[in-house]
Structure 1
Amino acid sequence: MTAFIVGLFAVTYLGMALGRFPGLRIDRTGIVLIASILLLAGGALTAEQVVDAIDFPTLAVLFGLMILSAQYAASGFYDWCAWRIAAGAGTPERLLAVTVVVAGALSAVLANDVVVFAMTPMLCAGLHRRGLDPRPFLIALAGAANAGSAATVIGNPQNILIAQVGGLDFWRFLAVCGVPAAVGTACVYATVRWSWRGRWQAHAAPPRDGEGAAPAPAPWHLAKAVAATLVLLVLFATPMPQETGVLLIAGAMLVSRSLASRTMLGMVDWHLLVLFAGLFAVNRALAETGLPAAMVGWLEAAGHLPDALDVLTPLALVASNTIGNVPAVVLLLSAWPAPPEGALYGLAVLSTLAGNLLLPGSLANIIVVERAALVGVRLGFAEHARCGVPMTLLSMGFAALWLWGFGWMPGR
């Protein structure tokens, strides 16, 4: 049975690294779901073990934030932000700066994947209308969304999981990770501006003046979303469990006279929730073999646990850009039962910033590329890497110095 579990685990994470299997139209979520089914059917896990493996508080927080973000999307706020960025007066460099600030700030309080999903098409349309090449702005959108999301426990899926595992406080997390996240967004801006200097204009002729109209957000729906966000931040300062507070806010968003619950639920990224649940099951099966515990024991004896920056930094960089930062964090936390608080902060900020290195490094990158392709904008691997590599190395370098300098993690 151990050989079956290890083999299936290896195939699953190979699929995570490739994104799909050649010749098959099955993505990461499908791969993990099929692996979970095979583990159940093969007797490696019982139905009770599958249920017990799933971290439901993490899924609850992620689901609730998606509902809150859906309220913003339904109000037209994301479309309005993207349009105002693209249609605003000023140089391309100024538009780039606004893109970075807006994407980073929104992703710190809302799930970054939902932010880029909503903003990408309208941003492309507005930039085309101005005759600007959308590609540098899309790189900045994804990069800033990743970097900004590192600031809080609700910025991205891996931070949500880390905070739940470690019982991390929202405001303390912000105090530790906020500065590296802000510097990371600055690195995004500086790198993209330098790499694309003098090449802002699109080769194709821009559309005729007057095409399209600026979207106007619905005032009531937007006000409801903003009020809910403020209440949520207040709840995070109380002893109430984070998942309970987030679900209360989600329930309030579903109570509406004009937005149907079906519409709101349709905006939830169910694929991401299934991916998380499947990864929990796959990693639980491997844990049942005893191999991860033995590996952790060997690393601890050798002094190579990722509780120091000389191990965690390269590990986060490599793992995030092979299997992706979300699967990497799920895998590491399933094998490492009691990481210290400082290591959890380091894992959150370093794995998130590492996702900017290459396109497969984060779900936000992949979402931007796929959404842009739907409106005719092709962002290639090499184009992204020319900006992604320097912005990632600079931001991770600063984050490591920050964590070491303030005593959150030892260098070794």
Structure 2
Amino acid sequence: MTTFVTILFCLTYLGMAAGRVPGSRIDRSGIAMIAAVVLVATGALSNGEILGSIHFPTLLLLAGLMVLSARVRASGLYDALALWIARSAGRPLPLLAMTIAITGLLSAFLVNDVVVFAMTPLLCSGLAARNLDPRPYLFGMAAASNAGSAATLIGNPQNILIGQIGGLDFWKYLGFAAVPALAAHVISFACIAFVWRRSLEQVPDDAIMEPRTVDRQEIAVSCGGLVVLLVLFATPLPREISALLVAACLVVSRKIPSRQFLDEIDLPLIILFASLFIVIGAFTATGLPQVGMNWLAEANLLPETAPLLALFSLAASNTIGNVPAVVLLLQIWQDIPPNVLTGLAILSTLAGNLLLVGSLANLIVAERAQAFGVELSFRDHARAGVPATLASLAVACLWLVGLGYLPV
């Protein structure tokens, strides 16, 4: 059974690296689910072991945050902000700066994938109406969604997982991570402004764009829910319970059916998490991961220094994906020190800006933009993404080392 589980684990993570099964439309969530079902069907794990391997608090927190983001989206806030960005700034550079700043702020407190999913179409149409090349602004949005989400433990799925399993304090983490996250915003702006300087020399047209309907009452309710959630994070109440309480209150509406909010829950992402927990749980039960971790410890190759953790984040986030990489590391490396977890949350998120495939947010922006005839190529992303990411990681490593969180 050990050989079978090991082979299945390797095939699963090869699928994570490829992104899909060649010749089919089975994506990462489908690959992980099939592997988990095979393990369950063959008896590799007992029913108790299956339940024990899944970290339900993470899944519950993720679901609660998705409901909050759905309520914000239903209020029209994302649409209004995207159009406001597109038509308010008079020159391209202020427009780019505004795109990065607003996307980063939203992504810090609302799941970044949802933010870019909602804002990309309106930003594309607004920029097209002003006769502007949308590519630098869309790359700025993608970069800011990752940089902004690195600032908190609820900004993206992998940080949610790290915060939950590691028991990291929300506000303490925010106070520490805000500086490298803010630096990443500035660096991304500078790199995009330089690489796309010709496109950013265009003079925008003063086009008249149709305003979007905004429900001020719904916006107030949504923002109120977010404020309550952040306050609850400062209490001893578990974060997943806090998120579910707020979500339960937010699905109550006289105007919008609750099903609309619940339909916004990203079920494939939930399935990906749960399935990977099962696959890695079965692999961990073989004892092989512990042997490997012992070997790495003896060779001083555990990613517990700033350079090694940055290299791991770069390699893993841009191959198998940051969510599968973080799930794997947290499952096979027992008792990871809190300082390493803090570094992992920051570095693994910032590393997602390196390549177009480095994060789900990047891919969402590219796919949503393609529907408007805007092609965001791998090469175009890398032109600014590679230098911006390397510089951002360097600053983050200096911050981690300088404040004594990680050794060199």
TM range (shorter): over 0.9
- Give the equivalent residue in structure 2 for 1:338: 335
Alpha-carbon shift at residue 207 of structure 1 (Å): 12
Q: Which residue of 2 aligns with 1:397?
A: 394
Measured after TM superposition, the shift of residue 8 of structure 1 is 1.1
Across the aligned residues of Structure 1 and Structure 2, the Cα RMSD in angstroms comes to 1.6
Is 2:326 the partner of 1:329? yes
Q: Secondary structure at the match of 2:190?
A: helix
| 3-state SS, counterpart of residue 355 of structure 1 | helix
The residue type paired with residue 184 of structure 2 is G
Partner of 2:226: 229
> Are the structure 2 counterparts of residues 401 and 377 from structure 1 closer, same or farther at C-alpha, using a change threshold of 3 Å?
same
The alpha carbon displacement at 1:210 in A equals 6.2
Using the TM superposition, give the Cα deviation of residue 211 of structure 1 relative to its aligned residue in structure 2, in angstroms: 6.5
Code of the aligned partner of 1:13: Y
Q: In structure 1, list runs of 5 or more residues that go unmatched.
A: none
Match of 1:349 in 2: 346
Structure 2 residue ranges without an equivalent (≥5): none
Report the Cα distance in structure 1 between the residues aligned to 2:89 and 2:284, rounded to whole angstroms.
Answer: 56
Contact 1:129–1:207 (CA<8 Å) still a contact in 2? no
Indicate the residue corresponding to 1:38 in structure 2.
38
Q: Is the 8 A contact 1:132 1:201 kept in 2?
A: no
**1:51 aligned to 2:51?**
yes
| C-alpha distance in 2 between matches for 1:394 and 1:200 | 22
Aligned partner of 1:101 in structure 2 is 101
Residue among 354, 373, 379 paired with 1:382? 379
Counterpart residue type for residue 285 of structure 1? A
Deviation at 1:201, TM superposition (A): 7.4
Alignment counterpart, residue 246 of structure 1, candidates 243, 247, 251 = 243
Deviation at 1:308, TM superposition (A): 1.2
Quote the residue 2:85 is aligned against: 85
Q: Which amino acid aligns with 2:229?
A: L
Q: Is the 8 A contact 1:307 1:343 kept in 2?
A: yes
1:142 CA drift (Å): 0.6
- The correspondence of residues 11-410 of structure 1 with structure 2, limited to 5 A, is 11-200=11-200, 212-410=209-407
The 1:405/1:210 distance shift into structure 2, 3 A limit, reads closer
The alpha carbon displacement at 1:135 in A equals 1.0
2: CA distance between counterparts of 1:214 and 1:359?
31
Q: Specify the code of the residue in structure 2 equivalent to 1:29.
A: S
Q: d(CA) in 2 for partners of 1:386 and 1:209?
A: 30
Structure 2 CA distance for aligned equivalents of residues 129 and 23 of structure 1: 38
With over 3 angstroms needed to count, the CA separation of the structure-2 counterparts of 1:208 and 1:404, relative to structure 1, is closer
- CA deviations over 1:304-338 (Å, ceiling 9, x no partner): 21111132111111011000111110010111111
**Using the alignment, how far apart are the partners of 1:213 and 1:169 within structure 2?**
43
Q: Mean alpha-carbon deviation: is it higher for 165-174 or for 395-404? A: 165-174
Shift of 1:47: 3.2
Greater Cα offset, 342-351 or 44-53: 44-53
TM superposition score normalised by structure 1: 0.96
Deviations 1:356-404 (A, max 9, x none): 0011111111111111112221111001011110110000000000000
C-alpha distance in structure 1 between counterparts of 2:149 and 2:140, whole Å = 14
Shift of 1:200: 3.6
How far the C-alpha of 1:235 sits from its partner, in A, is 0.6
Q: CA deviation at 1:296?
A: 1.1
Letter in 2 for 1:75: S
Identity %: 53
The CA deviation at 1:50 is: 2.0
Q: Which amino acid aligns with 1:304?
A: L
Distance 1:253 1:399 in 2: 36
Counterparts of 2:224 and 2:177 in 1: how far apart (Å)? 25
**CA distance in structure 1 between the partners assigned to 2:130 and 2:265 by the alignment:** 32
Query: How far, CA to CA, are the matches of 2:204 and 2:145 in structure 1?
Result: 28
How far does residue 46 in structure 1 lie from its aligned partner after superposition? Answer: 2.7
- Is the alpha carbon distance of 1:232 and 1:405 closer, same or farther for their aligned partners in structure 2, counting shifts above 3 Å? same
**Taking structure 1 as reference, are residues 237 and 208 closer, same or farther at Cα in structure 2, changes over 3 Å only?**
closer
Please list the CA deviations of residues 5-53 of structure 1 after superposition, one character each: whole Å capped at 9, or x if unmatched: 1111111111111111221011111111111111111221233322221
- Change in 2 beyond 3 A, CA 1:25/1:93: same
TM-score (norm 2): 0.97
Q: Is the 8 A contact 1:184 1:391 kept in 2?
A: yes
Q: Is the 8 A contact 1:148 1:181 kept in 2?
A: yes
- Aligned-residue offset at 1:89: 3.1
Aligned-residue offset at 1:100? 0.3
Deviating more after overlay: 97-106 vs 7-16: 7-16
Aligned length: 408
